[in-house]
Structure 1
Amino acid sequence: MSTNSRRATGPAVAVVGATGHTGRFVVAELQRRGIAPIAIGRDAAALDANFHDQGIVCRRASVDDAASLDRALDGAWAVINCAGPFLDTAGAVVSAALRARIHYLDVTAEQPSARAVLDNYDAAARDAGVVVMPAMGFYGGFADLLVTAALGDWDSAEAIEIMIGLDSWHPTRGTRITGERNTARRLVVTGGQLAPLPLPAAEKHWEFGDPLGRQAVVELPFSEIILIARHVKTAELHTYLSRIALSDIRDPATPAPQPADATGRSPQRFVVDAVVKRAGESRRIAARGRDIYAFSAPLVCEVAERLLEGKFSSVGAHAPGAILDARDVLAALAFDHPAFEMMGA
């Protein structure tokens, strides 16, 4: 299979980091939706090994070579960046997307990367007439959509809590590398302002319901804090993660995820609860599904498809809940993916 640059037929979405664990899920999901993927990676042999005889356009490019990125994005209507650590890749890929005047999305869980993209590229994205949306994966955009849906007609909240329940967390190599690279102090919202996570981190128990039950959780914020704080006014915003998942990822002996079905999904189960409170009233929305890495693919591809169709309210650098119909996005995912279920929506 040739890795020379050639234009895809019909609407095409480029995937940077296509040969990685999440990138492969994203390429497959784009194909399932009838959107032509352009698989982009640093290694021509890896591109060939993963996408040989699939009829997928493959292009070699590096974030250290702007010209190669420009060639790789030729013919794309949007780009999904799956190549972490995003602290090292997001700036180069966003810049290339803006030069090409196409939409940009990524799946980072890294707060510093998401914050930098939102802060640094909003004006340029508006000038280019495109959307720049970081952190549109399981950690980040998913919780932002859940919180936005739970808020409903409320324009603010007094407190927001996000509870992420996992029955295990077998990290990919990319997750391991990102964890080593991302050493910044994590941020929460307290007193209405972004502030460093207080240490030691708060702990409590949470009833997730089926299939996880009651679990110990530890405060551990991801990129959803940056996204939600961007467009939701709240005095307190906190994220908690299952202690069992935290123990898994902190153990260097925990193996990478292993496929349990023909799609490549692992057996990992998740439940995410979003609780918003105001004036003595509480609203709760929850979702459950399987394999946080695999689930990031339909999530980011659903949003990418809406961007291609013009189903958003404003160009610029945004959190998904700020410019998309959050309830409609979540409902579409639940309808189209039987492994994903909404509760209390």
Structure 2
Amino acid sequence: MNDTFLLYGATGYTGELLAREAVRRGLRPILAGRNAAAVRALAEALDLPWRACALDDAARLDTVLGEVACVLHAAGPFAHTSAPMVAACLRTGCHYLDITGEIDVFEALAGHDAAARAAGILLLPGVGFDVVPSDCLARHLKDRLPTANRLTLAFRGLGVGISHGTQATMLLGAGAGGTVRRNGALIPTPPAWKTRHIDFGSGPKLAVTIPWGDVATAFYSTGIPDVEVFMAASPSAVALLRASRYAGGLLSSGPVQRFLQGRIPAGGPDATQRAQGRTQLYGEVSDKQGRRVAARLSGPEGYTLTVLAALHITEKVLRGDYQPGFQTPARCYGAGLVRELPGVKGFEEVEGVGKRPSS
């Protein structure tokens, strides 16, 4: 097995960002995707090798994965694309990384833990903004309060929009409601089930529960059985989410999904927007004795952070720094992983929330 990797979904918005940053770092991934013309054009522009490969062509996929040490899978929605890629990785002994934030995908990959260990490969989904910074924040808080049994995470994005792929994934979940974890189990909730005000560092902001990937991953990273994730949102956005409770069946129907998916604009935030954007995260844990600890983390905007984190982890795997089986970022590399990324600041303790537990 050699020391290069396959970047699948290279011509998507995030995929191209990953490809260009990989070249800047001196890496030479093999670019891949379904559309041969698009993959070839990008590969020739970056002087990189390329392969055309559809995920439903198992024989071709196995051949391509046989050339590399690992795949960085960037073609979502991962609810549709992860299963065939993971199956191929298990067949070929290729490490699997992706940038998903989809709860169902994390849970599905967790179910392949034994098979991955037997194959000696790593299955590590969520190596981007979903969920590296929040997963590391969760692990940090658990380390600070080992008796914690409740975890709240929240994030706020400043100054950017979202890509075509992210919008497509969000639309797939439209009308499906939210998810929290209670006593270790995933529990469905209505959209905008709960709101609260959270201070990300510049005063309290309205935030609402969302089905973010940490509802799945934080349980594996920390063992904490009760998990909620919030996103900062305007009152009008919260109102729209609550209104979707009454249109859930319609929004998730095939004809409506096809109509909406066909009208998602291409692309995503431009370079200036990404450079000016920031992300802020807040985390809080508590235990049955009423002790609470909270911390904040900040970093580059989400797409930039995805590129930095995904390639940093890919480089670790190529160096042989990994643990076989299903992993989460913080379980595999510890809470300090996120602070290895440029532009990340934290962990900042929140005054008045809790004190360091005595040893």
TM over 0.5: yes
* Equivalent residue for 1:258, pick from 269, 280, 288: 269
Equivalent position amino acid for 1:239 in 2: V
Whether contact under 8 Å (2:53, 2:60) holds in the other structure is yes
Deviation larger for 75-84 or 133-142: 133-142
RMSD: 2.8
8 A Cα contact 1:136 1:142, kept in partner? no
For 2:205, give the aligned amino acid: Q
How far is 1:83 from its partner?
A: 0.5
> What is the aligned partner in structure 2 of residue 331 from structure 1?
339
Are positions 1:67 and 2:59 aligned together?
yes
The counterpart of 2:82, out of the listed 83, 90, 100, is 90
Change (3 A) 1:156 1:136: farther
Shift of 1:235: 4.1
DSSP-derived class of the 2:198 partner: strand
Code of the aligned partner of 1:331: R
Quick one: which amino acid aligns to residue 270 of structure 1? Answer: T
Give the secondary structure class of the aligned counterpart of 1:265.
helix
Match of 2:211 in 1: 221
Match of 1:34 in 2: 26
Does the CA-based 8 Å contact 2:74-2:98 persist in structure 1?
Answer: yes
The 8 Å contact of residues 284 and 293 in structure 2, kept in 1 or not, is answered as: yes
Moved over 6 A (4+): 252-255
Matches within 5 A, 1:1-345: 11-119=3-111, 121-152=112-143, 154-167=145-158, 170-182=161-173, 184-198=176-190, 200-210=192-202, 213-244=203-234, 247=237, 257-261=268-272, 265=274, 267-278=276-287, 279-312=289-322, 314-327=323-336, 329-333=337-341, 337-338=342-343, 340-344=344-348
> Separation in 1 of the partners of 2:184 and 2:201?
31
Change (3 A) 1:215 1:156: same
What SS class does the counterpart of residue 139 from structure 1 fall into?
coil
Q: Give the Cα–Cα distance (whole angstroms) in 1 for the partners of residues 58 and 194 of structure 2.
A: 43
Structure (1 or 2) with the larger CA radius of gyration:
2
Cα deviation, residue 254, structure 1: 9.5
Distance 2:4 2:191 in 1: 45
Q: Contact 2:141–2:294 (CA<8 Å) still a contact in 1?
A: yes
Question: TM-score w.r.t. structure 2 length?
Answer: 0.81
Tell me if structure 2 keeps the 8 A contact 1:118–1:134. no
- Give the deviation of 1:43 after TM superposition: 1.1
Counterpart of 1:52 in 2: which secondary structure?
A: helix
State the percentage of identical aligned residues.
26
- Kindly tell me the number of residue pairs found equivalent between the two proteins: 326
- Structure 1 distance, partners of 2:61, 2:178, is 31
Paired residue for 1:3?
A: none
Tell me the alpha carbon deviations over residues 304-337 of structure 1, each in whole angstroms, 9 at most, x when there is no partner: 222222333x31112222222221x12211xxx2
Which amino acid is 1:286 matched to?
R
Please tell me whether the aligned partners of residues 167 and 245 of structure 1 are also in contact (alpha carbons under 8 angstroms): no
- Unpaired runs of 5+ residues, structure 1, are 1-6
Length-normalised TM-score, structure 1: 0.84
Q: How far is 1:41 from its partner?
A: 1.0
Shift in Å at residue 281 of structure 1?
3.0
Q: CA deviation at 1:177?
A: 1.8
* Structure 2 counterpart SS, 1:36: coil
Structure with greater helix share of residues: 2
Q: Is the Cα–Cα contact under 8 Å of residues 141 and 227 in structure 1 kept in the other structure?
A: no
Q: 1:53 to 1:27 in 2, by over 3 A?
A: closer
Is the Cα contact below 8 Å between 2:163 and 2:269 reproduced in 1? Answer: no
Contact 1:11 1:36 in 2 (8 A): no
**C-alpha separation in 2, matches of 1:129 and 1:40:** 24
AA of the residue aligned to 2:227: L
Contact in 2 for aligned 1:258/1:266 (Cα 8 Å) = no
**Alpha carbons of structure 1 residues 288 and 170: separation in structure 2 relative to 1, 3 Å:** same
Is the contact made by 2:160 and 2:274 (CA closer than 8 Å) also made in structure 1? Answer: no
